[in-house]
Structure 1
């Protein structure tokens, strides 16, 4: 510390002898010394105590000069600390971008710096605030993810205050599970949590903190466990896709598991077949008075209630008689009835396909 504060001591001795206060160049030297102390890992307390101890050797102690030099030392120290934090945040954002996009430039080496061992199996949880609603902990203006997250260098509405939300959630998870087990970051308008597949409880804890941080309407999508850097990318996309599918299908659950939704990507994989099914089975509903939407909603409610028409009526907020009438109308128009097991499966698959394809809002070709 003595070699860092040599200039500080000379300034104090000169001020004691001449009464002249340190000038701009001399104070810049003090700021540089403070920054160097921070880079070497010295504490600010040790820096100030060393500066005050040197001042005791100068008689009489020039208090105005001492105040200026100590202030400059602390300013340089704090500036260096802020710069280091900014660099760390920039490196973190770059690492998260590279990890979730599958760019492999020294990925394993960089992952160790952030506490991840990429040879392990990981699960990615993706949390999205309510669409069009402000979060409860500084996540106002957050964007909505798409089914296949696009590469984007920034995070738009979730920058700034939401970075603080991500840090608070990560601090809570690290306090419980350790720094080598979780990574929380802001990505594509969502919070992303990467945790080992063997630590399933971490996903539940992450969801708990999301519930506290976001306004009602939030959603969490859980990818499946996959191994290696490519597995992290896959799990991330599965989590984001689960949220997108939940929106398309009108699912009510706030937490959606990709493992529970595997049938839907299968349906979409053969788009021509699902379009043909929707058109063949449901297009007659376009002739219904009031349009097809009330009839589609009735089918969804009946399927969600395992065929219980009374429960379906409660879901819809209509009478049981209205549900019975609508189901009969569907049978007459389409020739399919949910009372028949084979026809029920065809109808349910067609309704799911319609929701996935946003039919009839988007006509099929």
Structure 2
């Protein structure tokens, strides 16, 4: 259950330092817009809904720009920015925050800044599993999913009793292990003190010379610690964005969610929902009718009973009640009073 009170024994750590080379961009991956806002903002919003004591954001590439984006979503009192000046892997990224946890007895929830659809209820269920595993709680809990094509992902290997054994990467997997459909999503809960103790034992003896967070669950298990698995049923929700195609696919998913919410919760009519672009910041009143090929961007607010006809683009504007906007209009940074026809 998502709480309405601050959880003093919970901290959230968001990994957001990488450039994202597969995006083929000079812009840090987490800054790419999704629904009109940087994708990391969705992750920050979800993290905030859990009411943690503090949210830590690991920044590196274009760190100041990432900081500005995060502060659009979070208050400065909620967040601490941690610099990873060299990108030496996910394990190294997490270790940069160690100084903040040296005297804390807390659970650390680790998220990636490029997984924008993750929901608070899913993370709350992960935390519940972490705290209730075998009636005493786990040291580490991994969020996993099963997919039809696991190629390229780390496989979750279980023992004969169905408990965690190890994470094996694609390049290291045997043919039998490659057939496993359950994969690591990169979302974890750890008990802080044991996390950082295990991180100190991670080696970078791999082709990338990087320190991988995925080594930590195995190290903990070898030390006799409890490592739990929370198997989630919706792979799309926990999907990361790694390239432009995945960004476009995620944009379509988000757009459908926005339009569905406006239809069901706000009473807005869309003549052709598949041919409209609506920014997630937009507010639209009930009984408004949106025709095909309309674009609504930025912090736009449209009142009740309006008609927005085809080919119109509205950006960062306020539209009053009972306004009709005719075909092929451009309205930007403007205010239109009630009852007007444009």
- TM-score bracket for this pair, using the shorter chain length: under 0.3
Instruction: Give the TM-score, by structure 1 length.
Output: 0.21
Whichever structure has more helix as a proportion of its residues is 1
Q: Which has the larger radius of gyration?
A: 1
Instruction: Give the TM-score, by structure 2 length.
Output: 0.22
Whichever structure has more strand as a proportion of its residues is 2
